[in-house]
Amino acid sequence: MHGNVLELAMDISRITGEKIAGLEQIMLKTKMLSINARLEAARAGEIGQSFSVVAREMGTVADEVNAMSAELNRAMNDNAARIEQAGREMMLGMRGSRLADIARNTVEIIDRNLYERSCDVRWWATDSAVVDAVESPAIEAARHASSRLATILRSYTVYLDLWIADATGRIVATGRPERYPGLTGRDVSREDWFREGIQTADGDAFTVCDVAQNPALGGADVAAYATAIRVGGEPNGRALGVLGIFFDWRPQAQAIVTGVSLSDEERAASRVMLLDARHKVIASSDGRTGDTFALKAEAAWGHYAEGRKLVAYGLTPGYETYQGLGWYGCIETSAAL
């Protein structure tokens, strides 16, 4: 619709310019007729004097009309340029707002996904097999817990692995020992997910860490969630250890940033990203991650033009009990589309 308005304004300007040019041609002919009439009046001598006065007046009127036409033409050109600029700004603003909505929706989708991860970790930490592994530590209890974690992983394919650590930070059971061997007995007491997980206030609390590579999981990018495993699996029970779950970040996030609703032209000229709170690129439609994007966010949602680029962004609003980590959805595209 806005494109049609701009085209209409430009058509009006073009048609008006054509009419002014036509009027100038008529006045030029009138001017020439006036000159010819004055020449003929001069040849007629005294008899043509009165006609000469009329001819001079015709020339004066033609000059005045030409001057008015030139002024009108200047005004129309100036207004047409202003209308065209205003139209382009309006179209850019509408497009920027639409892309900002898409950017915010992108980060909302991932946060809804990660909210489910926070539910998973709190639920599984109360599983009797998980609790027994740290409440009544024994080889058989650890084997049973590992079997239980493996069963969960067969159904929840978005995870790379699930780990149970005791109160000292020693891993006692994992869900995929065949894929990631040698983890049992590993000391994770200094890792953020464990340190924050053991300090959670109750069974309703959890911790989540920013996306980072985990060397123990083949260097894969993971989002780690954790909560304390408590006596009897009770919400207010004493913390006996920590359950850590490791979300396979890259394929899940990549599917989201490449699946946004853009036209083929927009998609070819755009980079859709997820940024962490420090504006580090943690997912990108072009596959490039790890760089820091110079986002100039002045609000929770918006867009701005920078050179030949249009940047649209949206800050995570969180979802349910998941407050988010200050991440942004962001789209950088060509301003000329």
* Three-state secondary structure call for residue 257: helix
Q: How far is it, in rounded angstroms, from Cα 298 to Cα 107?
A: 17
pLDDT tens profile 287-326: 999 999 999 998 999 999 998 999 999 999 888 888 888 9
- Which residues, in sequence order, are CB contacts of 17 under 8 Å at separation 6+? 73, 76, 77
Could you report the per-residue pLDDT of 103-154, keeping only the tens digit for each? 999 999 999 999 999 999 999 999 999 999 999 889 999 999 999 999 999 9
Domains of the chain: 2-91 (1.10.287.950), 125-252 (3.30.450.20)
Spatial contact of 37 and 55, defined as CB atoms under 8 Å apart = yes
Residues 6 or more apart from 261 whose CB is under 8 A from it? 102
Q: Distance between CA 89 and CA 92 in Å, rounded?
A: 5
pLDDT score, position 1: 45
Q: Are 185 and 168 in contact (CB under 8 A)?
A: no
Q: Which of 163, 173, 179 is nearest to 121 (CA)?
A: 163
Query: Residue 244's closest CA among 223, 222, 227, 221?
Result: 227
The percentage of the chain sitting over the pLDDT mark of 90, rounded to a whole number, equals: 65
Rounded to two decimals, the pTM is 0.75
Higher pLDDT, 134 or 27: 134
Asked whether 301 and 99 are in contact (CB, 8 A), the reply is no
